[in-house]
Structure 1
Amino acid sequence: MVMHMGGCHCGAVRFQVLTSPDLLVFHCSCSICTKKQNHHFIVPSSQFTLLQGLENLTTYTFNTHTAKHTFCRTCGVQSFYTPRSNPDGYVAPHCLDKGTVRSITVENFCGVKWEESMQNHKTIRNM
């Protein structure tokens, strides 16, 4: 396990996550992930700590309103968010500081057919 540090572009939001140096990242094809070119890795909330910037965060939700798309109100960067697939997990690969990630493996997830994909995607389902 490695302590990864990260944050938004302007530095107002900073966080840390305790997880492997080898990340399993999901490429999702749902409507919002496609538009944002979002990639995710899932970290249980017990391994995530927001260090600063709570007052600078704003949240966007849609459809089932389960996913909480959190982003910095100053620079607009989504450093982490709570996904629908794992409402108790945080997701944050693109905003980690350099130096602690050893490798990244990417798996595709068909977010266009979300319910069917959740049933069939053993990796996410077992998290």
Structure 2
Amino acid sequence: MANVTNIPTVLREGAGLVMHTGGCHCGAVRFEVWSSPDLHVFNCNCSICTKKQNLHFIIPKSQFKLLQGSENLTTYTFNTHTAKHTFCKTCGVQSFYIPRSNPDGYGIAPHCLDPGTVCSVKVEDFCGQNWEESMEKHQTIRSMSKNVAE
């Protein structure tokens, strides 16, 4: 897992990023992410996102830090095996994962963030049932896992 401290604080704060913390239901898995306080969340209708109600926002790997619980995580993959659906072995909650759309980043579940750092949430529907076509049409999703300085 990447270490968020690799990004200079001045770049994080200059880009309007705030540190959010969060974790799974039982508390075994804890993490921090640097992201905007105004979240751009995807509501995907692919088979797994539909079953899990997987709303998520995307960040670069460098803006994620696992604080505890690596030994409590397990991973599920299917189809292309690009997405890595990580979840807590104890409570079953997926707080974050590596999305197929952005294998160089993380999808973070906004409902797993601790209260107090989110100002607003904009939800965008994404048609994962027609994944390839949707990815071709979407103009910005791939850039969401790029560092601010890139």
* Paired position in structure 2 for 1:105: 122
Equivalent AA in structure 1 for residue 56 of structure 2: H
- Give runs of aligned pairs for residues 61-76 of structure 1, distance below 5 A: 61-76=77-92
Q: Stretches of 4+ moved more than 3 A in 1?
A: none
Q: TM-score, normalised by structure 2?
A: 0.83
Local SS of the residue matching 1:58 = strand
CA shift for structure 1 position 51: 0.3
Q: Are 1:78 and 2:94 an aligned pair?
A: yes
Unaligned runs of 5+ in 2: 1-16, 145-150
RMSD (CA atoms):
0.7
Counterpart check, 1:119 vs 2:139: no
Q: Greater Rg, structure 1 or structure 2?
A: 2
TM-score (norm 1): 0.98
* Letter matched to residue 136 of structure 2: Q
2:31 is matched with 15
1:102, CA displacement in angstroms? 0.2
The structure with the largest helix share of the pair is 2
3-state SS in 2 of match to 1:15: strand
Give aligned-pair identity as a percent.
78
| Structure 1 letter corresponding to 2:91 | C
SS in 2 for 1:11: coil
- In structure 1, the residue matched to 2:8 is none
1:41 equivalent to 2:57? Answer yes
**What CA distance in whole angstroms lies between the structure 1 residues aligned with 2:27 and 2:62?**
23
Q: Which runs of 5+ in 1 are unaligned?
A: none
1 CA distance for matches of 2:141 and 2:56? 11
Aligned length: 127
